[in-house]
Amino acid sequence: MKFSRHLFVCTQQRAGGGKPACGNRGGPALVAAIERALATHPDGGQVAVTGCACLGPCFDGPNAVVYPEGVWYAGLTVDDAPALVAHLTTGEIAESRRYAWTDED
């Protein structure tokens, strides 16, 4: 089956100091909230959600990216689940959580 959109949410776990990890800051709960919403959404079967390992910009997480648009999101919480479901099902981008890449990224 070909999905119309695919969301990857970082659920990376990391113990100890150093960089923060999305999996320790709500990534798995966000995946669960999105999957629950899609389970009852009429277009939920047309899209995919995958928890994944580190996407890179750990300090700005929890992070996610939607394909095929290649739109990145940062600083996500479970409260952003409806907006991400909207992106997946309608293509509407949640600008307030869109990741602002810089030249240094």
Positions in the binding site for ligand FES (CB under 6 A): 10, 12, 21-22, 54-58, 61, 63
Specify the residue, 9 or 38, whose C-beta has the smaller distance to ligand FES: 9
Beta carbon of residue 40, minimum distance to ligand FES (angstroms, whole number) = 28
Please enumerate in sequence order all residues whose Cβ is within 8 A of that of 23, keeping only pairs 6 or more positions apart, or say none: 10, 11, 12, 13, 14
Beta carbon of residue 14, minimum distance to ligand FES (angstroms, whole number) = 6
Nearest alpha carbon to residue 86 among 52, 51, 95, 70? 95
Specify the residue, 23 or 89, whose C-beta has the smaller distance to ligand FES: 23
Half-sphere exposure of 32 (CA within 13 A, CB side): 5
Beta carbon of residue 73, minimum distance to ligand FES (angstroms, whole number) = 11
